[in-house]
């Protein structure tokens, strides 16, 4: 995933970084903590192999944790990085917009899945909350 940093208000930076989070509530998604809500937990992209790249899709991330210093998009421990998926974040207001898009349509026909996460962190780098988005990419002939 690409790396970007943008400020949305004093004290809160938005980036697109890889991160590993420990703990959690035992759910397979890796979601835990409070102070972060997302409006979608699943996205599906469909493309024809070699055809046009599907339109990007956005997830709105609402931050209510007063001690949040950064919002990061990446993969929690145990979730493989998807080389076909990119994410960027725009945080000019709350909620922040996290945009997901496909890099290209050159993959072989099939269904590909990824589980990127959106997380908020304190200024010392400690995690406050994580929410996972299930992304499915269906490539046809």
The residues spanned by each domain of the chain are 5-140
Integer angstrom CA distances of residue 85 from 36, 43, 64, 129: 23, 12, 27, 22
The CATH number corresponding to 5-140 among 2.60.40.10, 1.10.1040.20, 3.40.50.1470, 2.60.120.1440 equals 2.60.40.10
pLDDT band at 3 (very low <50, low <70, confident <90, very high): very low
pLDDT value at residue 17: 40
pLDDT tens profile 88-128: 987 678 999 999 999 999 999 999 999 999 999 999 999 99
pLDDT band at 40 (very low <50, low <70, confident <90, very high): very high
């Amino acid at each position: 995933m690409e790396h970007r940093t943008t400020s949305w208000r004093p004290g809160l930076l938005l980036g697109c970084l890889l991160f590993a989070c420990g703990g959690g509530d035992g759910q397979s998604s890796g979601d835990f903590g409070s102070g972060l809500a997302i409006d979608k937990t699943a996205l599906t992209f469909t493309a024809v192999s070699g055809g046009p790249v599907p339109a990007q899709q956005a997830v709105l991330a609402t931050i209510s944790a007063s001690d949040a210093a950064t919002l990061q998009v990446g993969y929690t421990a145990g979730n493989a990085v998807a080389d076909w998926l990119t994410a960027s974040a725009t945080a000019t207001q709350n909620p922040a917009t996290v945009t997901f898009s496909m890099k290209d349509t050159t993959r072989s026909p099939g269904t590909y899945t990824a589980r990127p996460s959106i997380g908020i962190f304190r200024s010392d780098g400690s995690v406050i909350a994580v929410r996972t988005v299930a992304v499915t990419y269906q490539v046809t002939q």
